[in-house]
Structure 1
Amino acid sequence: MRSISCLKSVGAALIAVSLLSACGDKAAPPAQLPEAAYVTIAPEKRAVENELPGRLESYRTAEVRARVPGIVLKRTFEEGAFVKQGQVLFKIDPRSYQASVQNAKAALSRAEANKVQADLKLKRYKPLVEINAISKQEYDDAIAAAKQASADVEAAKATLVNNKLNLEYATVTAPISGRIGRAMVTEGALVGQNEATLLATIQQINPIYLNLTQSSAELLKLRQMMQSGALKDAEKSGLKVTMVMEDGSIYPHTGKLLFSDISVDPTTGELALRALFPNPDNMLLPGMFVRARLEQAVNENAITVPQQAVQHTNDGSQVIVINQENKAEIRQVKTTSAIGNRWLVTEGLQPGDRVIVEGLQKVRPGSPVNPVEWVDPMAPAKAPAETPAAAAPATEAGSKAADGGAAAGAAEGQAQTTQAK
């Protein structure tokens, strides 16, 4: 009995020693490295955009004025409405002009009658002067009278045309189609007295002009880069302009650049440019202040990074890159302009550099990181494709797990056998 109890004690001690040795062989897990999502820098073709300030201006503006004096009898339009070319806007008292037309018609009839009489007299005098029945002087007087009668007829016709025009001007019509503003006069007002009184203003705002200004120094730098070959000139026929509204939203329609001025304003040092935008919904109004993004050149080897990867400090802009040893490293960069949600970088980065986009708060310069490739949330999603390479690690992991389970079962069986002895 005593020997059996000794054997049991020895077996229990052996099991305890084996368990302690197994725990001692298991190494402690290393500290987990901070995860850093990065993008790999690769040159790409990008349009060079400049954001310029500008103001909107109507495509056409017409001031409706009184061309003849008189009393306004009626206004026939609604203020702020759309009017068509030729539409009646105001009616001025036409009675005096109607009387002038009638008078001119009577004067024309009298002149035509005098012309008939002069022509008949000349016709009778012609054979008489040939037989010396009348003097040469009388015949010459008849010729002059006939010509004067013809001139009187032409003068009477011109007077009639002028009086008809004044009668037409008494009915004020729209010279162009567009939006009309408020009426500057009311019924009963005397207009056109010694001056062409302003009655209303019509503006055509579809399409609409955008007048821009660009610094001459910025334009000079852009042209120097084109001459050096760093940039390529964009196609003039394809210059597109994107409008940024006052609230920061993007106008849904794209405009086109019409021209740039050939001289610089000496007081401001800026160059004037003009673009044309469609305005089918009349959303844009003359006088609004907006900003425009203008494609003026093309960079064949542009380097861009997501805006969230760039940190702006007192010393300038900087990014954090992952070096070959998978350690974080600060890199000073120079950015010029924004292209969508990315910064255009001109200095500080080279193709192949890995720039950290997410996880910047977790990394420290000089410390190792766990690099993972960054996935742009704005990029279109791709359907996951199952490949044999992806299935291989899982199979290998499963086989390792099976081997581990078999080894554990064998160890447990060996321990039971020892205890039974």
Structure 2
Amino acid sequence: MTACKRESGAPGAGPQSSIPEVTAAKPIAKRLKDWDEFTGRLTSRERVDIHARVSGYVTEVSFKEGTEVKAGDLLFTIDPRPYQAIVERAEAMLAQARTTAELAGVEAKNATALRQGQAISAEESERRLKSAAGEQAGVRGAEAALRAAKLDLEFTQIRAPISGRISDARVTEGNLVSGGTQNATLLTTIVALDPIYCEIEADERSVLKYREMHKSGERVSAMFERIPAEMALINQEGWPHHGEVDFVDNQINPATGTIRARAVFPNADHLMAPGFFAKVRIPGSGEYDGLLIRDSAVGDDQGSSFVWVLDEKDKAVYRPIVLGPLLDGMRVVRSGLKAEDRVVVLGLMSVRNGVQVKPTMTDMQPAAPTK
């Protein structure tokens, strides 16, 4: 029996020879700010439907469909000849009106002299003066008709009112279009691209939270000042686009329980277009002192979160914590940890409460992968 007894120093003799190895790190202490996320759609800052102002046949389409145009660029030309003829007729009528007005003015001037010499009656003098005034009014009317005719002639050249990306031509050369303010023919559409808007719907609970924060001075409300906003498209990681919330509607929609808001973002490369789905985040709190840990270090215990913390004897201690949101890939810890605590980040499966471990310290922020 003595010969069969294993020596205490033999390999694998006792539990002290199998101390688990773990990797631990201290939480990152820094000034933090919570962010609230919303979904939205990109919309154009300006959108113009190009309609014909005068009727006629389209003689030229001067743009390439789907490209960018600048304000003032020629888009369509409507046959100007009928309107040029109207302008020439109006010019002739104006010349005739001016001649008639000059003759009436001479007669009115003579009537004044003749009246002083008692050569004509007062009624005749008054008639000539009124006739001169009427002819001057006729001149002004002819001038207004000429301006209107020239304006219609100008409208035969349809130019871009804004800069942006243009759609396709809904009407091609040779087709008759209708002008005017009603039932005018739609020719094309232009949308402005830089900057670009993202419209979001904020729920009532969030709106009340933001107004309480404004009331307490924790964070300004977007109703009174612009606040920062960050955005990502569905194929983008992180929050690469930075802008501002520049508009909040004046009432809650009772059907949805949300309020409409709008963020504006630079779009210098014009790669973002109206209609894209986007994620937007805005500050959900003021700045505060907080701790960050790796999300992989957090365990779940029947709906409660916990981490393993090492005491001064390198024994694992079960520590319940209250978590906040993810921030740049790290998890915010609301309570339960201190900045000097050593948190197990690797080797969690081999850790039990009160078990002695062999720790290796590392940085809480994982190193960026090398390419």
**TM-score normalised by L of structure 2:** 0.87
- For residues 227 and 161 of structure 1, the distance between their equivalents in structure 2, rounded to whole angstroms, comes to 57
- For residues 263 and 62 of structure 2, the distance between their equivalents in structure 1, rounded to whole angstroms, comes to 35
Amino acid across the alignment from 1:141: R
Amino acid across the alignment from 2:157: T
What is the deviation of 1:91? 0.8
What is the deviation of 1:26? 6.7
Amino acid across the alignment from 1:105: E
Task: Name 2:362's counterpart in structure 1.
Answer: 374
Larger helix fraction of residues: 1
CA contact (8 A) 2:58 2:173 kept: yes
What is the deviation of 1:327? 2.8
**Do residues 176 (structure 1) and 142 (structure 2) align?**
no
**Do residues 49 (structure 1) and 35 (structure 2) align?**
yes
Cα gap change, 1:81 to 1:25, in 2 (>3 Å): closer
Among 308, 331, 334, which residue is 1:343 paired with? 331
Task: Name 1:120's counterpart in structure 2.
Answer: 106
Cα gap change, 1:222 to 1:303, in 2 (>3 Å): farther
Amino acid across the alignment from 1:58: S
Task: Name 1:358's counterpart in structure 2.
Answer: 346
Cα gap change, 1:221 to 1:85, in 2 (>3 Å): closer
**Do residues 240 (structure 1) and 221 (structure 2) align?**
no
Among 178, 190, 194, which residue is 1:192 paired with? 178
Among 90, 93, 100, which residue is 2:86 paired with? 100
Among 37, 40, 45, which residue is 1:59 paired with? 45
CA contact (8 A) 1:234 1:295 kept: no
Identity of matched residues, %: 34
- For residues 150 and 236 of structure 2, the distance between their equivalents in structure 1, rounded to whole angstroms, comes to 55
CA contact (8 A) 1:239 1:296 kept: no
Among 136, 139, 142, which residue is 2:122 paired with? 136
Task: Name 2:297's counterpart in structure 1.
Answer: 309
Partner of 1:291, secondary structure, is strand
Matches within 5 A, 1:163-312: 163-192=149-178, 195-224=183-212, 232-233=218-219, 239-250=227-238, 252-312=240-300
- For residues 220 and 33 of structure 1, the distance between their equivalents in structure 2, rounded to whole angstroms, comes to 53
| Residues 200-228 of structure 1: CA deviation (Å, up to 9, x unaligned) | 11111011111122222123335546767
Cα gap change, 1:271 to 1:369, in 2 (>3 Å): farther
Partner of 1:286, secondary structure, is coil
| Residues 21-47 of structure 1: CA deviation (Å, up to 9, x unaligned) | xxx897878414212222334643112
What is the deviation of 1:137? 0.3
- For residues 28 and 288 of structure 2, the distance between their equivalents in structure 1, rounded to whole angstroms, comes to 12
| Residues 289-343 of structure 1: CA deviation (Å, up to 9, x unaligned) | 1101222433322232211112356524332223455332333333232110111
Amino acid across the alignment from 1:292: V
| Residues 109-151 of structure 1: CA deviation (Å, up to 9, x unaligned) | 1100010000000111111111211000000000110000100
Cα gap change, 1:352 to 1:226, in 2 (>3 Å): farther
CA contact (8 A) 1:45 1:298 kept: no
Cα gap change, 1:101 to 1:226, in 2 (>3 Å): closer
Cα gap change, 1:312 to 1:280, in 2 (>3 Å): farther
What is the deviation of 1:234? 6.0
What is the deviation of 1:187? 1.6
Cα gap change, 1:323 to 1:260, in 2 (>3 Å): farther
- For residues 287 and 72 of structure 2, the distance between their equivalents in structure 1, rounded to whole angstroms, comes to 51
Amino acid across the alignment from 1:150: Q
**Do residues 87 (structure 1) and 97 (structure 2) align?**
no
Partner of 2:19, secondary structure, is coil
| Unmatched segments (≥5 aa) in structure 2 | 1-6
CA contact (8 A) 1:49 1:295 kept: yes
- For residues 334 and 249 of structure 2, the distance between their equivalents in structure 1, rounded to whole angstroms, comes to 29
- For residues 167 and 25 of structure 1, the distance between their equivalents in structure 2, rounded to whole angstroms, comes to 109
CA contact (8 A) 2:213 2:220 kept: no
Task: Name 1:14's counterpart in structure 2.
Answer: none
- For residues 219 and 290 of structure 2, the distance between their equivalents in structure 1, rounded to whole angstroms, comes to 15
CA contact (8 A) 2:25 2:364 kept: no
| Unmatched segments (≥5 aa) in structure 1 | 1-23, 381-421
What is the deviation of 1:101? 0.5
Partner of 1:31, secondary structure, is helix
Equivalent pairs counted in the alignment come to 356
**Do residues 153 (structure 1) and 139 (structure 2) align?**
yes
Q: Which has the larger displacement, 31-40 or 269-278?
A: 31-40
Partner of 2:255, secondary structure, is coil
Partner of 1:209, secondary structure, is strand
Partner of 2:109, secondary structure, is helix
| Residues 64-118 of structure 1: CA deviation (Å, up to 9, x unaligned) | 1101111111111000111111111011111211111011101101100010000
What is the deviation of 1:183? 1.1
Work out which of the two has the higher radius of gyration on C-alpha atoms and give 1 or 2.
Answer: 1
- For residues 72 and 214 of structure 1, the distance between their equivalents in structure 2, rounded to whole angstroms, comes to 47
Partner of 2:273, secondary structure, is coil
